[in-house]
Amino acid sequence: MANSQTTKGNNSTGGYKDRFWIPRFWNGMGMSACFRLFAENHFAIAPKRLGMAAINAGLSVSNTTLWGIQELVHGAKIRRTQVKQHPIFIIGHWRSGTTLLHELLVLDRRHAYPDNYSCFAPNHFLLTGGLFPRMLWFLMPSRRPMDNMKLSWDHPQEDEFAMCNMGIPSPYLTMAFPNRPPRHQEYLDLEGISPEALDRWKESFRWFLKCLTLRTPKRMVLKSPPHTCRIRPLLELFPDARFVHIVRDPYVVFPSTVNLWKRLCRDQGFQVPRYANLEDHVFDTFNRMYGVFERDRHLIAPSRFCEVRYEDLVPDILGQMRRIYDTLELGGFDEVRPELEAYVAAQADYKTNRYEMSPELRDQITQRWAPFIERYGYSAEGEAAVSAR
């Protein structure tokens, strides 16, 4: 069903309103990935989005050409690069505070991260990253549309978008054709795909991290919600990886996630979205994600795993960040503390969105997400009840 039972609260459109054109996630695809995306969806492009599709196709030619040049210039160096410091993964459902944690952890100058441009142009950012973001600064809105957080080419971004632009299947590709059945849901948790497909995913992910490491040889901090249910393959790639898991009141997460997908489908889709079955999709994806996560979380060593509640983090950023540093044995907290204090001061006036929902929808959340609500101590009234376990 469509999102008829929830209503969005405050916050603006994040700099998107009345813009003639904005970058789309898919503008960084190469030719084969772009054609495959269109062909898999039977070229079901809305007439009013044909121009958007034509731009994407045209840019794919440039992306493929630039990839070839980057391969000639940097290919050997990429292959020789080793990811010596295994990453820190920020995991948790969409709208749980993963972006906030990402921005906090990358304040540490010992850390690096995929930024918007490297995820937008993963095939050639080593070649073009020193020039194109400066040339194209005016195309990037100053705020994210779903929550009004600051945005720029060099802000941290989800590595899942880089995988999409590299031609790797992802459930995120559903946003491109939102009226078609959900795409590549098996890639959410990487279960049910062939060994060959899994190997391709791993090699592509490793290649992207090698490119990032070649650019900035530091420990990577990575954030993509699908990684929440990819613990097993991530540990196979990086046995010494660290994980920070953030949870948030599900009665906030649900309407915020629905709003997120509605906005992204509207802005990023080659179709005019109808939002059919969107709420059921959010319910089911959450349960699939946490079913796999709770099964596999024991695979992470205690000294490599920290759990934090959004409701504890926001009022006590310094205290919770110190706990994360201590638990994960990162060291150096006192050196990064001034950066954290400056961030907290700069965000003092930031206000989160507020949502209203019908009693019927609240009851659905209580029923369908009952295991999560019980495990992490949230109440049916939508307020935190006890500390996370």
pLDDT tens across the length of the chain (389 residues): 334 444 444 444 444 454 556 889 999 999 999 999 999 999 999 999 999 999 999 999 999 999 999 999 999 999 999 999 999 999 999 999 999 999 999 999 999 999 999 999 999 999 999 887 777 766 666 666 655 667 678 899 999 999 999 999 999 999 999 999 999 999 999 999 999 999 999 999 999 999 999 999 999 999 999 999 999 999 999 999 999 999 999 999 999 999 999 999 999 999 999 999 999 999 999 999 999 999 999 999 999 999 999 999 999 999 999 999 999 999 999 999 999 999 999 887 766 667 788 899 999 999 999 999 999 999 876 444 333 33
Distance CA 341, CA 127 (A): 35
The DSSP H or E segment spanning 246 is strand 242-247
Domain ranges of the chain: 24-349+362-375
- Cα–Cα nearest to 147, from 301, 306, 8: 8
Distance CA 121, CA 63 (A): 8
- Cα–Cα nearest to 274, from 146, 173, 179: 179
Per-residue pLDDT at 175: 97
> Contact, 242 vs 328, CB < 8 A?
yes
Tell me the angle at which helices 250-268 and 278-296 cross, rounded to the nearest 10 degrees.
Answer: 120
Indicate yes or no: pTM above 0.75. Answer: yes
- Cα–Cα nearest to 357, from 259, 272, 285: 259
> Judging by beta carbons within 10 Å of its beta carbon (0-12, 13-18, 19+), is residue 388 exposed, middle or buried?
middle
Q: Considering the domain 24-349+362-375 in this protein, what is its CATH number?
A: 3.40.50.300
Looking only at the bridges linking them, the beta strands covering 219-223 and 88-91 are parallel
Per-residue pLDDT at 7: 43
User: In whole angstroms, how large is the CA radius of gyration of the chain?
Assistant: 20
Instruction: List, in sequence order, every residue forming a beta bridge with 223; answer none if it has no partner.
Output: 90
DSSP designation for 223: E
Distance CA 65, CA 38 (A): 20
- Cα–Cα nearest to 88, from 109, 104, 105: 105
> Contact, 357 vs 255, CB < 8 A?
yes
Distance CA 38, CA 44 (A): 8
- Cα–Cα nearest to 2, from 316, 266, 217, 197: 266
Looking only at the bridges linking them, the beta strands covering 111-112 and 6-7 are unpaired
Distance CA 101, CA 221 (A): 10
Coil, strand, or helix at residue 310?
A: helix
Per-residue pLDDT at 142: 62
Q: How many CB atoms lie within 10 A of CB 384?
A: 17
The alpha-helical segments, DSSP class H, found in 21-49 are 31-40
> Contact, 227 vs 234, CB < 8 A?
yes
